[in-house]
Amino acid sequence: MPDTAPAAPVSARRFTPEERDTIHEVIRSRRDVRDEFRPDPIPDDVLWRILDAAHHAPSVGFMQPWNFILVRDIDRRRAVHRAFQAANAEAEAMFPEETRSTYRALKLEGILKAPLNIAVTCDRSRCGPVVLGRTHNPEMDLYSSVCAVQNLWLAARAEGVGVGWVSIYNEPDLRAILGVPDRVAIVAYLCVGFVDAFYAEPELALKGWRQRLPLDQLVMHEGWQEDG
């Protein structure tokens, strides 16, 4: 019979202060890249390291619900871009009149300029109807897939690769373009490519859309506390 004894844990590696600081520097310098992509393709070894980092994200019940759809074909990306344009016109109309000119000036995607687009999905049927950790919070598989996106984003930044997250589209349009079945959720549509420079601060902050909230205003102790 196979040995079913649980594997014994090993001593955790301790990172050096320099390694720790590098991790935090990568986190702080991650940017949502819009329109600064170079056209040259990402080498296969670099792309695989980025995808492998995403694949090592934590997932509820170790179900690993993600898939990564690599979209390079220009005609397919043009179809995605048309879907974005239609949704973006709808989005602009939702904002107050006085902010619409600022909204129009923002570059919100690099679908055609980036050499690679990646759709990150979540197969909600993976591992069957009952999954450890999803018994009472079924949306945890979606959160797991978002963790994969963040791993991808940080690994890309460490490789000098820019990533932009496109969130403005009507899901049925994107689902039809990519042929995604109903059981699978579309979690993220990403524009990916090398860039020559990254903004020193988030672009939306630099262009006056919003500023980062102070951390000390967001930390609560023992329970929810209303402002004031």
Is the pLDDT confidence value at 27 over 90?
Answer: yes
The mean pLDDT value for 140-154 works out to: 98
Of 141, 124, 127, 150, nearest to 59 by C-alpha is 141
What pLDDT does residue 34 have? 87
Distance, in Å, from the CA atom of 71 to the CA atom of 85, rounded to the nearest integer, reads 18
Distance, in Å, from the CA atom of 149 to the CA atom of 128, rounded to the nearest integer, reads 23
Is the pLDDT confidence value at 179 over 60?
Answer: yes
Distance, in Å, from the CA atom of 81 to the CA atom of 113, rounded to the nearest integer, reads 11
Q: What is the mean pLDDT of the chain?
A: 94
What pLDDT does residue 4 have? 66
Find how far residue 56's CA is from the centre of its chain. Answer: 14
The mean pLDDT value for 92-115 works out to: 91
DSSP E strands in 138-224: the ranges are 161-166, 184-194
Of 169, 28, 27, nearest to 178 by C-alpha is 169
The mean pLDDT value for 45-61 works out to: 98
What pLDDT does residue 3 have? 61
CA torsion 76→189→170→94, rounded to 10°? Answer: -130
What pLDDT does residue 127 have? 95
Q: Which domains does the chain have, with CATH numbers?
A: 31-197 (3.40.109.10)
What pLDDT does residue 36 have? 86
The mean pLDDT value for 63-77 works out to: 98
The mean pLDDT value for 150-171 works out to: 97
For residue 83, what is the enclosing H or E element?
Answer: helix 74-94
Q: Return the bridge partners of 193, or none.
A: 162
Amino acid 98 reads E
Is 102 in contact with 27 (CB distance < 8 Å)?
no
Is the pLDDT confidence value at 228 over 70?
Answer: no
The contacts of residue 63 (CB under 8 Å, 6+ apart) are 126, 127, 131, 134, 141, 144
Task: Give the phi and the psi of residue 119 in degrees, each rounded to 5.
Answer: -95, 125
pTM over the 0.75 mark: yes
What pLDDT does residue 47 have? 98
What pLDDT does residue 225 have? 92
Percent of the chain with pLDDT over 90: 82
